[in-house]
A = this chain, B = another copy of it.
Amino acid sequence: MAIKFKRKETPYVFEAINEDGATCIIDANPSIGGKNKGLRPMELLASSVAGCASIDILLILGKQKIEPTLFEIDIETKRVEGIPAFFEEIKLIFKVNKEVNQEKLDRAISLTLEKYCSVSASLKESVQVIYEVNLI
């Protein structure tokens, strides 16, 4: 993995580009001059957890021929007060269509978070990742 990261606009609009040319815009909080052109770094960090977990969960379910028609996550976080305001907890609230077997879904999520997800594993000494499932 090699990423090119550069300031695209002042004060805090950045672009990250991967080796295949895919890009991501990152911006700062409007309170310090952000322009809402992209997610903020801590939002991106939380989203990377959801993204990594989702891929592994869908891979596990796919092997069991389970293909959700609804797959969404509400991400909620707890940060410590002060500077740096790092994450204490990232909560993933899964919303999946009710035809999916809850036990198999639970098993896929817990396997992913405990064993497969490289992003969670990169955070695991510092941040607690918890989840909840809503079948809709």
A residues at B contact (CB < 8 Å)? 1-7, 10-12, 14, 16, 18, 20-28, 30, 32, 36-52, 54-55, 58-59, 62, 67-68, 71-77, 79, 83-87, 115-127
Contacts and interface: CB of A to CB of B under 8 A. Distances in A.
Q: State the number of copies, please.
A: 2
Contact of A16 (B10, B47, B117): B47
B45 A45 contact: yes
Contact of A118 (B5, B10, B42, B122): B42
B16 A121 contact: no
A22 B39 contact: yes
A46 B3 contact: yes
Contacts of A54: 5, 7, 12, 14
